[in-house]
Amino acid sequence: MRNKQRPLEALKLADGLLQYSERGEAYVEEIKKMIRSNRLNMLREVTLNLERDA
């Protein structure tokens, strides 16, 4: 999504977690439920800060 200069869509990204947990689809659905309940689907302003304070 970032490579295409598009906003991150949390619900679509959650699908990539299918193999992350042995719970499989149940895990992904639980994550999606949290995303929906917290209104976090469109992550336009999210950035990754790799710098650490010394």
Is 12 inside a domain boundary? yes
Q: Is 39 exposed, middle or buried (0-12, 13-18, 19+ CB in 10 A)?
A: exposed
8 or 53, higher pLDDT: 8
35 lies in some domain: yes
Residue 22 near residue 36, CB atoms below 8 Å: no
**Taking residues 30-41, what's their average pLDDT?**
90
DSSP letter string, 9-51: EHHHHHGGGTTTSTTTHHHHHHHHHHHHHTT-SEETT------
What is the model's pLDDT at position 48? 63
- Asked whether residue 16 is assigned to any structural domain, the reply reads yes
The mean pLDDT value for 7-32 works out to 93
Q: Which residues, in sequence order, are CB contacts of 22 under 8 Å at separation 6+?
A: none
The first and second tokens of residue 41, run together, are 């689907």
Q: Give the residue, 49 or 30, on which the prediction is more confident.
A: 30
Answer whether residue 22 shows pLDDT above 70: yes
Is 22 a member of any domain?
Answer: yes
Domain range enclosing 15: 8-43
The answer to whether residue 29 scores a pLDDT higher than 80 is yes
Domains in the chain, number: 1
Mean pLDDT along residues 37-44: 76
